[in-house]
């Protein structure tokens, strides 16, 4: 699907869609809990739906009421055909589920779904086949599969598709912190379910630390204890997830960042549903827009929105700390540089970031690269172009923000599909 954006100022009020990062975490906690949990959520997207489908494959029962904005989650132990052992030989609570057949967990294009649920499946002792689409089969998982194998899992590949069986045991887990914080999050969800205590130790500095902070907050909401220690985390075994009954999923700063970018380019958009006190690291967007030097180490998802603004400012902007963006839905560094160049700007990708010389933006065609954040960044930048901008692969917004173009039009934007 192509969309053509006509230049023009955006103005009005928009409500940010529910945070997919928080939704993933709340859904997993609810699926592992001791009773029914209701998630209050104002929107779904393809990534959230992938986690829902995968959890249902594991045995959770999840119903959605779109009119009320409710996800009703019945945990894995209550699903028919599954048996949960409530106590292990040590007398500690455990959550070993005996599955009679191989389950298929379709992660779609969601790296979070894969990296969060792979350790959980290994903690539950599930026999599972993980599959996915797009660039997800190309994205790295070797550091995570390595430690899972070291602790008793059988995993036949480091990339999708992969077949998993066996139940891991506790102990010491050594992981790099600079490849993906999702590895850490997945283990933090899984390790409390094991009989024995575990210790995660990071062999390199943790990047995207805000996402792990969100995980710790979600775990605390479900009664799980994790102790921060020098160089990592200590996780007592034998814990039980306790349902808080209701979870309110706040608005997504990663999505709101594009409306913040529009404001930096002259729009007047009032964004509802996000909080400056949020645990989401991307709340930093307002402080980073327009800066000539940006370290994106902890906020890589903001780079497309930040770059869209930088492309139109009469200054040089240098973005660093974003090497991991080469392994996203696209090579996001080259995709951003190409987006800017396609519209008459000057930008080049470096090893870990971008150098952007801003200036006037002209009309043209942008390759959306099947990347939701590239499509949205190009749409915002197009509002200040001197002519229409056509963006390919516009349907990619469904991954994180299906209503993006509806909201764009409601703010006065012209978007012809």
Two tokens, residue 379: 């749409």
Q: Are 122 and 148 in contact (CB under 8 A)?
A: yes
DSSP string, 299-358: -GGGHHHHHHHHHHSSSEEEEES-GGGGGSSS-HHHHHHHHHHHTT-EEEE-SSSEEEE-
Q: What is the 3-state secondary structure (H, E, C) of 163-199?
A: EEECCCCCEEEEECCCCCHHHHHHHHHHHHHCCCCEE
Looking at 301, 338, 371, 393, which residue is catalytic? Answer: 301
Q: What size, in residues, is the chain?
A: 417
Q: How far apart are CA 136 and CA 52, in angstroms?
A: 17
Alpha carbons 152 and 385: distance in angstroms, whole number: 56
What is the C-alpha separation between 48 and 64, in angstroms, rounded? 12
How many Å apart are CA 411 and CA 13, to the nearest integer? 7
Is 100 catalytic? The answer is no
C-alpha–C-alpha distance, residues 73 and 81, integer Å: 17
SS3 annotation, 235-288: ECCCCCECCCCEEECCECHHHHHHHHHHHHCCCEEEEECCCCCCCCHHHHHHHH
Backbone angles phi, psi at 180, to 5 degrees: -160, 125
- In 3D space, the residue among 214, 192, 187 whose CA is nearest the CA of residue 202 turns out to be 187
Which of these, 362, 404, 403, 405, lies nearest to 386 by C-alpha position? 362
1: how many CB neighbours lie within 10 A of its CB? 14
Residue 168: name the closest of 128, 120, 239 by CA: 120
List, edge to edge, every strand of the sheet that includes 316-320: 293-295, 316-320, 354-357, 346-349
Sequence-ordered list of residues with C-beta below 8 angstroms from that of 187, at least 6 positions apart, any chain: 119, 144, 147, 173, 175, 198, 200
Residue 152, both tokens = 């008793």
Distance CA 12, CA 267 (A): 9
φ and ψ of 128, to 5 deg: -145, 150
Active site residues: 301
């Amino acid at each position: 699907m192509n969309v053509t954006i006509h230049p023009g100022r955006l103005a009005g009020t928009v409500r940010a869609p529910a945070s997919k990062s928080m939704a993933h975490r709340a859904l997993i906690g609810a699926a592992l809990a001791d009773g029914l949990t209701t998630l209050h959520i104002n929107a779904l997207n393809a990534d959230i739906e992938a986690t829902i489908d995968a959890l249902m494959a594991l045995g959770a029962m999840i119903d959605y009421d779109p009119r009320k904005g409710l996800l009703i989650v019945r945990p894995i132990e209550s699903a028919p055909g599954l048996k949960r052992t409530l106590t292990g030989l040590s007398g500690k609570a455990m959550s070993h589920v005996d599955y009679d057949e191989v389950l298929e967990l379709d992660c779609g294009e969601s790296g979070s779904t894969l990296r969060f649920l792979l350790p959980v499946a290994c903690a539950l002792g599930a026999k599972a086949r993980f599959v996915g689409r797009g660039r997800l089969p190309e994205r790295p998982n070797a550091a995570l599969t390595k430690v899972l194998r070291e602790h008793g899992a059988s995993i036949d590949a480091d990339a999708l598709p992969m077949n998993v069986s066996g139940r891991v045991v506790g102990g010491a887990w050594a992981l790099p912190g600079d490849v993906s914080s999702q590895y850490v999050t997945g283990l933090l969800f899984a390790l409390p379910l094991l009989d024995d205590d575990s210790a995660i130790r990071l062999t390199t500095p943790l990047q995207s630390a805000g996402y792990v902070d969100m995980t710790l907050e979600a775990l605390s909401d479900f009664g799980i204890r994790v102790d921060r220690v020098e160089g990592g985390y200590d996780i007592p075994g034998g814990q039980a997830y306790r349902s808080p009954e209701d979870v309110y999923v706040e608005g997504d700063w990663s999505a709101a960042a594009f409306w913040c970018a529009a404001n930096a380019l002259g729009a007047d958009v009032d964004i509802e549903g996000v909080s400056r006190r949020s645990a989401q690291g991307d709340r930093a967007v307002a402080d980073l827009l327009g800066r000539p030097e940006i370290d994106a180490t902890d906020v890589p998802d903001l780079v497309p929105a930040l770059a869209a603004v930088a492309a139109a400012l009469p200054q040089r902007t240098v973005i660093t700390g974003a090497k991991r963006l080469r392994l996203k839905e696209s090579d996001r560094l080259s995709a951003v540089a190409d987006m800017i160049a396609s519209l008459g700007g000057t930008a080049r990708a470096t090893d870990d970031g971008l150098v952007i010389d801003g200036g006037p933006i002209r009309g043209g065609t942008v390759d959306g690269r099947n990347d939701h954040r590239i499509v949205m960044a190009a749409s915002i930048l197009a509002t200040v172009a001197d002519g229409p901008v056509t963006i390919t692969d516009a349907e990619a917004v469904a991954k994180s923000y299906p209503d993006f173009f509806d909201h764009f039009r409601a703010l006065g934007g012209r978007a012809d599909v």
